[in-house]
Structure 1
Amino acid sequence: MLQPFLEAGRIVGTHGVKGELRIEPWCDSADFLSKFHTLYWDSNGASSVQVLSSRVHKRLLLAYLEGVTSATQGDSMRGRVLYLRRADVKLPEGTWFVQDMIGLTVLDYDSGKEYGKLTDILKTGANDVYEITALDGKTYLLPSIPQVVLERNPEAGVMKIRPIKGIFDDED
């Protein structure tokens, strides 16, 4: 089941003396995170906070949050995780949050053989690379390209692939 609230980023410090927070985005970018006017202090959405203003600074988001008016208050929040509500995001078709992908069971598209779980997504220049951890604990790297990854279904908890020779078996 897809979670209704997702980790958006972590407060890493303050900027200036008026309580502006430095937030490390855990989503695509600080620019993406700057679009939200409401964030949440918990993973169930019970405690929301209004974003009064925000701006991108290098790879961080600088933001004034409701109720934070001094650097001392901001420093006390260092390390806290902020969440966003999934319903507030419109993703393009065929796009998922990394948090939805991690943990998917990886199956062979043709035979149904289970290769393991998707345990990490590495960002590279050309395409993402998926780290698959097999049941025996061994890890494999799989390019996220259309010829290899044929189906992603986070709702069902599976990803179906047709691996390139040599990824899961030793080439002769």
Structure 2
Amino acid sequence: MNGDWFRVGKIVNTHGVKGEVRVISSTDFSDERYAVGSKLMIRVQTNEEISVTVSHHRIHKQFDLLQFEGYFSINDVEKFKGCTLYVSSEYLTDLDEDEYYYYEIIGCSIMTDEGETIGKVKEIVQTGANDVWIVQRNSGGKDILIPYIDDVVKDISISDKKITIHLMEGLLE
């Protein structure tokens, strides 16, 4: 497939017998990504890429449940368990200033406003109130949780893959 592809989730299991799959989402716009008619790509274990179109989306517990056009039974989707879902860059919409896609933040270096490099963002968790960035320390040890709030995050440079934070008391503990 042509173009850049960005990970939006992992199919962790089937759901029911009518071809639904259970997805752990890694996208910040799941309603948009999984809207009926959305085109996604599944990369199966053989590195084969399968284009699918979302025919149904609902949320169940902490999972996104998806059904694809032409896949009507559990037997049709069994092969997708453990596979990763991707969206083409052509379907990404422009964001407002000071808004970022997860893929732009993950991998960025985190530095304090005093110049100390702490680590890299390895994952983002939605908490409802604000996103929390999970940062893998350069020095090893326990990951650091950085809340994406104005008091902490001072500057984001996607082009340099660098984020400057103000280290509030207790953040590194």
TM-score range, shorter chain: 0.7 to 0.9
Q: CA deviation at 1:14?
A: 4.5
- Aligned pair 1:120/2:119, yes or no? no
RMSD: 2.9
Instruction: For residue 158 of structure 1, report the CA deviation from its aligned partner.
Output: 0.8
Q: Which residue of 2 aligns with 1:77?
A: 80
1:10 aligned counterpart, secondary structure: strand
Shift of 1:52: 5.7
Where does residue 21 of structure 2 map in the other structure?
22
- Of 53, 63, 68, which aligns to 2:55? 53
Q: Distance in 2 between matches of 1:127 and 1:103?
A: 19
Contact 1:7 1:83 in 2 (8 A): yes
Partner-residue secondary structure (3-state), 1:76 = helix
User: Given the alignment of the two structures, is residue 87 of structure 1 paired with residue 86 of structure 2, yes or no?
Assistant: no
TM-score by length of 2: 0.74
Contact kept, 8 Å, 1:23 with 1:63, in 2: the verdict is no
Are 1:49 and 1:65, in contact at CA under 8 Å, matched by a contact in 2?
Answer: no
- Contact (CA 8 Å) 1:30, 1:61: kept in 2 or not? no
Q: Deviations over 1:143-171 (max 9, x none)?
A: 22112101122332111112113434x8x
Contact 1:9 1:26 in 2 (8 A): yes
Equivalent residue, structure 2, for 1:63: 67
Structure 1 residue aligned with 2:167, among 155, 163, 172? 163
SS of equivalent residue, structure 1 residue 90: coil
Do the aligned partners of 1:118 and 1:133 also contact (CA within 8 Å) in 2? yes
Tell me how far 1:80 sits from its aligned partner. 1.7
* 2:137 equivalent among 134, 138, 144: 134
TM-score, length-scaled by structure 1: 0.74
1:141, 1:30 → 2: CA distance? 23
Extract unaligned runs of 5+ from structure 2.
none
CA contact 1:40–1:49 (8 Å) conserved in 2: yes
Opposite residue 31 of structure 1, the aligned amino acid is D
Count of aligned pairs between the two proteins: 161
Q: Distance in 1 between matches of 2:59 and 2:125?
A: 24
Structure 2 CA distance, aligned partners of 1:141 and 1:113? 16
Identical-pair percentage: 20
Aligned-partner Cα distance in 1 for 2:145–2:68: 40
List runs of 5+ in structure 1 lacking aligned partners.
none
